[in-house]
Amino acid sequence: MAKYILGIDLGGTKINTAVLDETDKIVGSARTKTEAQLGQDAVFERIAEISQEALSGAGVSASELLGIGIGSPGPLDPDTGYVIDSANLRFRNFPLAPKLADRFHCPVFLDNDVNVGAFGEYKAGAARGASVVLGMFIGTGIGGGIILSGEIYHGFSKNAGEVGHMVIKPGGPRCGCGARGCLEALASRTSMVRDLRKYVKHGHNTSLTKHAGRHLEEVTSGALKDAYLSNDKLVRKVVDRAARYVGLALGGLVNVMGPEVIVLGGGVIEALGDHMMARIQKGIRRVAFAHTLEQLRVVKARLGDDAGVIGAAMLAKEKLFFDFHAIPAAANAGAQGNGPAHRG
Interface with a second copy in residues 62-121 (CB under 8 A): 75, 84-85
Residue type, 340: P
Nearer to a second copy, 168 or 234 (CB): 168
Based on the shown chain and the rule CB under 8 A, indicate whether residue 256 belongs to the binding site for a second copy.
Answer: yes
DSSP string, 270-326: HHHHHHHHHHHHHHHHHHS-HHHHTT-EEEE-SSGGGHHHHHHHHHHHHHHHH-TT-
- The length of the chain, given as a count of residues: 344
Nearer to a second copy, 126 or 296 (CB): 296
Among left, alpha and beta (phi > 0; psi -120 to 50; other), residue 216 is: left
Q: Which of 26, 42, 48, 132 binds a second copy (CB under 8 A)?
A: 132
Based on the shown chain and the rule CB under 8 A, indicate whether residue 26 belongs to the binding site for a second copy.
Answer: no
Count of residues in contact with a second copy, rule CB under 8 A: 49
Based on the shown chain and the rule CB under 8 A, indicate whether residue 299 belongs to the binding site for a second copy.
Answer: no
Interface with a second copy in residues 170-189 (CB under 8 A): 170, 177, 179, 182
Nearer to a second copy, 31 or 180 (CB): 180
Q: Which of 32, 52, 159, 209 binds a second copy (CB under 8 A)?
A: 159
Q: Please answer whether residues 185 and 228 qualify as being in contact, where contact means their C-beta atoms are separated by less than 8 angstroms.
A: no
Q: Which of 162, 232, 270, 306 binds a second copy (CB under 8 A)?
A: 162
Q: Please answer whether residues 142 and 161 qualify as being in contact, where contact means their C-beta atoms are separated by less than 8 angstroms.
A: no
Q: Least CB distance from residue 153 to a second copy, whole Å?
A: 8
CA distance 187 to 140: 9
| Crossing angle between the packed helical segments 96-104 and 40-57, to the nearest 10 degrees | 40
Q: Least CB distance from residue 115 to a second copy, whole Å?
A: 12
Q: How many CA atoms lie within 13 A of 200 on its CB side?
A: 20
Report residue 206 CA to chain centroid gap.
30
Exposed (0-12), middle (13-18) or buried (19+): which is 182, by Cβ within 10 Å?
A: buried
Based on the shown chain and the rule CB under 8 A, indicate whether residue 163 belongs to the binding site for a second copy.
Answer: yes
Residue range at the interface with a second copy (CB under 8 A); choices 42-50, 291-299, 305-313, 317-325:
291-299
Q: Which of 31, 90, 169, 343 binds a second copy (CB under 8 A)?
A: 169
CA distance 208 to 201: 13
Q: Which of 258, 304, 337, 339 binds a second copy (CB under 8 A)?
A: 258
User: Can you give the binding site for a second copy, defined by CB under 8 A?
Assistant: 75, 84-85, 130-132, 144, 146, 148, 154-163, 165-170, 177, 179, 182, 244-245, 248-249, 251-260, 286-287, 289, 291-292, 295-296
